[in-house]
Structure 1
Amino acid sequence: RLFNTYGPTETTVVATQYEITSSIDINTVLIGKPLNNVQTYILDQYLQPVPVGVLGELHIGGRQLARGYLNRPQLTQEKFIPNPFSNDPLVKLYKTGDLARYLSDGNIEYVGRIDNQIKLRGFRIELGEIESILIQHPEIQNAVVIMRETASGDKQLVAYLVAPEQPINNIRAFLQEKLPPYIIPQNFVFLESFPLSFNGKLDRKALPTPDNLNRNSSNFIAPRDLLEQQLSIMWSEVLELNSIGIRDNFFEIGGHSLLAVQLMSLIKQQFGQNLPLATLFQYPTIEQLASLLRQEANLSLHSPLVSIQPKGTKPPLFFVHPVGGMVLCYFDLAQQLGTEQPFYGLQAGNLDKMNSVEEMAQYYLEAIQTVQPQSPYLIGGWSFGGLVAYEIAQQLQKQGETVSFLGLIDTHIPDDEPLNLEHPLNLLADLFNIERPEIEPEYVNLSQEEQLIYAFEIAQKTNLIPDDFDLEQAQYLWQVYQKNVMALNAYKPQSYTGQITLFQATENTLAQEIQNNLEKWSELTTNEINNYLLSGTHYTIVRPPFVADLALCLIQCLTNLTP
């Protein structure tokens, strides 16, 4: 015969036993029923019996109980308490500190230690209960759940799993069938094994801090436009997470009502939209919230100025859009520069103001001066944006203003040979700051309108563009692009007396071409050019990982400016 026995030393070793007569569920620890002359009680925090199936602390009474701890009266008083079910004040119960529950057949199921019981946002949570459910999942070999505190003091549940890495949504769905929402962990970390202490026990302090990379699963979709990117920044700030997909549910990744209030406050500051708190329960993902904001706020910017990173006390940077007209490409750069450096983008939005580089520069300068009316100015741009920034700097000089910094990121002076239009699919990829997809050969020779429709359909299928981004918007962006190309081909830059800083991409570019571009810019200024040669291609210089080097050089330039 095989028995599983249970009992602390304080109850003379064995207090209950369970006879194993058939195959057992390895995820359930049954400790059976009390021995003769032993009483067991499963009680809540008020020493009241809990119903069958409900967790409580196991208390033990009976003749085999120890009298207490030698020379430790305080601990004895804490652990050996008067039996509330006896009229004799000398009769004691021992508080085991173990979590357990009665089953319908009278047997007791051991769940874990009460040390693992926590209080989170007003709810008392048994971490052992979550762990016991997790290891019922067929692919999870072992599980540990702990509560971690973020830098701001917010508390979150983290589940550490010995299991093959898999989409978190699958595990979360499994838990949702068995647990209430408030005790489902916000973070999941996959490990090959748990760290152990010297004596072979679980070392909870050695469990790694979650890095949120687990959300980079097959279901992860990164922000696809500036609005989604701005919301992503807010969510990261509020939730203190690094990697948030646009379809991650706010409440499933650590959000709660107090954090929701903070998020709505940030949205009001950024977009001027006073959304009710209930909005987040109806639209709990970045994708859904962005769609709502587009409808509510009509975000077809009346001003071309976009505050990509408005925080900080340093003089702001103003960067002009590339030929596609959007400024999402500057998000990574603004992030690398940090929260002390305000960063604004100038985004195309008014076709009537895009007939020439000079006209664009005047329009954007007016917008810049609504934020910063006086010198000194820090201006820049990538590719075509550098040409417009150059023209803005010239117009500022004519106004008698000072341009402390003019940064041109891989910007080339137009040749006599006009620039040809890109394929629309490449344009959409550039606009949403992702790698250019491969274009099927049979689509190359289609008309421009047919190419645009093809590009739009492919972009939708591959989640390259938001769901509410329609063909009409794609056609508008194509018009913006055509206008910019025409303006670029017609622009003849004039001489400039200020300092120019040139950042040139070196990959897939001949050394002679890089030198020729430097010489052309040198002919336009009386000052020596600050020339930085950086890793990356023309398209990747503003994207990770190459954008980190660009940001370091930019920080160095700004630091060296004369106060």
Structure 2
Amino acid sequence: QMTKSILIGRPIANTEVYILDAHLNPVPIGVIGELYIGGDGLAKEYLNLPELTQQSFIKNPFNPQEKLYKTGDYVRYLSDGNIEFIERIDNQVKIRGFRIELGEIEAVLNQHNYVKEAKVVSRENQDNNKQLVAYIIPNYNQQSITEINEKIREDLKQQLPNYMIPAAFMLLESFPLTPNGKINYRALPEPDFSTFQSNYVAPRNATEEIIANIWRQVLTIKNISIHDNFFELGGHSLLAIRLLAKIEQEFNIDIPLSTFLQNPTIFALINLINETKNISIESSVVPVQTQGEKIPLFFVNSISYAQKFASYLEKDQPFYILNIFGITEFLTPKLENLTLEDIATKFVEDMEKACPNSLYHLITYCGDFSLTLEIIKQLQRKGHKIPLLFLIDSFWEPEDLGVYLHGYNLREFGLGYFLEKVKSKFRYQKEQFIIFLKQTLSELSSVNKQSSPRYIKDIQLLRALKTARSQYYPQPSQAKVILFLSQEYRLLHTSNLTNFFKDNIEVHEIPGYHHTLFQEPYIQVLVTKLNSYLETYPLDEQNLK
């Protein structure tokens, strides 16, 4: 649900206020950053607290002769010049790319029968990696310390994702307090991570070590646990294709990408390799969250983005990914003349199997606008209702504003915009080069597409999909459209979308650039707005009529 804004207002006389990103660069209006304060009224230090002073008082990057105070508040400028408070940073940590609310873990712990009171903090382990540590005052009830630890850990796994499970649990008789009665977090005992059962489990046999080495090569990460989630470590669809290709070469086993999306850990892969019968029949539908009474939301075809998106949705929101790589074998015989209608027909069949007799919300990002409209057309032809279509920077042949668009964004967002475009261009060219190599390998090594290795078929399918998009022209639709627009594309607004939708298009501008919308803190803004729409459409008998 949307919460009421908390306005801080404007700086008072002789006070300087800056809203900066993690690199101490000013952020544009509407973009979330940390609040820093300077000026004549700023204190010099915390009295007799040199460590805290060093953390909180930094050199002013715009005037090295002065200091700024790091407030620990996430805020943003509003268009009228006022500053809006978002949340405290102190109770958040970022571990392996996930921003974690410590209070959320504490709330679950404090409801446990074995726990009287709990606090969660982040600590660095012996490898200087951040780990979560839970400090617990237990209700002993005759159980041993080991039993309490194991029981709490197992119960947490039923309620929280793996990356939110503390690596260590410390049992205390009481929390250390400061002179004014608050918890003294600095006095909490340091855990010895090597003595605790943690989320990190090293490969235990030769097979697990082989797969772990493949993961290290693909992800360029040294320490990988057999329970780590591939996508939480920075993996995406193209990297997953490379990973599965290496596994196929090593073990002579073909694991569909759709199956890997549901089993994205080394531990799960071992089970698939040992019991090949568990590899599922091809399906384009990847179930991410099946519980809940709301209308199911289907994310069309942006696999790695959808994976990041899922963890921010409400826990009772059914969520599925439509993944074209889940039906590679089905589509391979059609590649010479593949059409978006072919793909959409299979998607619709799989949607009906996953959620029969249902309404469907759809969401898509960037390049799958035309495929999504074809899915809607086929669903409506079969009598299904589509209450909401969410588009995230997704258009049909948007206006080419060229240099004017880049010039406008440089004036609005400064050097940060230019650097982000260079990085995204580099990533795109790297991925395209990998695809080119795979295509060349395919043409040199195999004439018969049906007998090609799985990863070659996936690359061939990407190429056929691009051709199918270029040959398709969407038909007008009556779907209600919500467009989430990055600040980078604000000049495009609805572009040519009004040619395809009869109703007005609701537009929400999201802070961030096109390629950062699925990163913190922008994704929180996006999903908060999206959740407010999903809350208004319960899955009830009236809606089904």
The structure that has the greater radius of gyration is 1
TM-score by length of 2: 0.45
Higher relative contact order (CA 8 A, sep 6+): 2
Structure ranking higher in helix proportion? 2
